[in-house]
Amino acid sequence: MDRRNIGSLEVSVVGIGCNNFGRRMDDASVDAVVAAAIDEGINFFDTADMYADGRSEELLGIAAGDRRDEVVIATKFGGGEKRGEQPMIEYVRERCDASLARLGTDRIDLYQLHFPDTDVPIAETLAALGALVEEGKVLEIGCSNFTAEMLREAEAASADAGVRFVSVQNHYNLLQRGEELEVLPTCEELGLAYLPYFPLANGLLTGKYRRGESPPEGSRLAGNRDRASSLLSEANLDQVERLTALADESGHSTVELAIAWLLSRPALASVIAGATKVEQVLGNARGGSWQLSDAELAAIEEIAPA
């Protein structure tokens, strides 16, 4: 599988999003998915301290086991626990140490600020993260849910802090393309790697949701009526049906098309798609090896324009 860079890290163009570890997946399922991913050449795993109240990190660490040096582990902080009045440097070190313990590792390859903390100057957050880098607990740092303006502010503060964000992880997929207006051009300008979350639009781009049918039992939208009614609109379903037909013509699945399209975008480093089964890992990997032709890209643009 092809690899791209996130700072000094070399990651597979398809990664595994671990938000279902410990939530919709038990220990055995996690072990199987992680093993299959590594065997397919996928080395990038993205989790967070808030996923399943830390259980996701624990299961990922166990599943990686003695293959830890074959993988790049990314996790996030600042999404669940409230910092309160605790100084940022203490808070960041405490969260990092807790993640290291759950992961059972001596370093976090990519440590990401999950959500902006508007109560703290970004320079202070960068300084706290820089201390972790100096200690060897963290190799690279990134952010998530940042606007273009926030990215520029962080870049300006990085000179004094001595460290800089090398990546940003935001919401982006074929059906939700607002990131193309400002964030993606800013990433290109600043040399930041971009990581899209919800790359399959909460499962809409898997093709599992059908017009006039209730979401399949056990699916992401089955237990969320409000999100289902928003995503399963006639316009969205029409686009998905046309994208599925286009993928079928090329001998691929809708998932593979969605992943391949993302990897054609500027600044994209890795598509961290969730997988609860081994067959989903294999399907995601196939998407990473499909290079869309100019004609296919034009057809996709006609179906789902920005």
| Beta pairing class for 9-12 and 138-144 | unpaired
- Apex CA 231: angle with CA 228 and CA 233, to 5°? 105
Q: How many CB atoms lie within 10 A of CB 145?
A: 18
Average pLDDT over residues 84-102: 93
Provide the number of structural domains found in the chain.
Answer: 1
Q: How far apart are CA 285 and CA 204, in angstroms?
A: 18
Domain contains 133: yes
Tell me the pLDDT tens digit for each residue of 185-237. Answer: 999 999 999 999 999 998 899 877 777 666 666 666 666 666 666 777 888 88
Domain contains 216: no
Average pLDDT over residues 232-250: 91
Domain contains 240: no
Q: How far apart are CA 6 and CA 141, in angstroms?
A: 10
* CATH number reported for the structural domain that contains residue 281 in this entry: 3.20.20.100
Q: Which range is least confidently modeled, 147-156, 166-175, 211-220? A: 211-220
Give the single-character DSSP code of 178: G
Q: Considering only CA atoms, which of 150, 155, 153, 189 is closest in space to residue 170?
A: 150
Q: What are the tokens at 148? A: 């273009």
CB 174 within 8 A of CB 205: yes
DSSP code per residue over 157-194? HHHHHS--EEEEEEE-BTTB-GGGTTHHHHHHHHT-EE
Domain contains 24: yes
pLDDT at 248: 96
Domain that holds residue 97: 3-207+254-293
Give catalytic residue positions. Answer: 51
Q: How far apart are CA 99 and CA 236, in angstroms?
A: 38
Domain contains 100: yes
Tell me the pLDDT tens digit for each residue of 110-130. Answer: 999 999 998 899 999 999 999
Domain contains 41: yes
Q: How many CB atoms lie within 10 A of CB 101?
A: 13
Helix (H) or strand (E) holding 91: helix 88-103
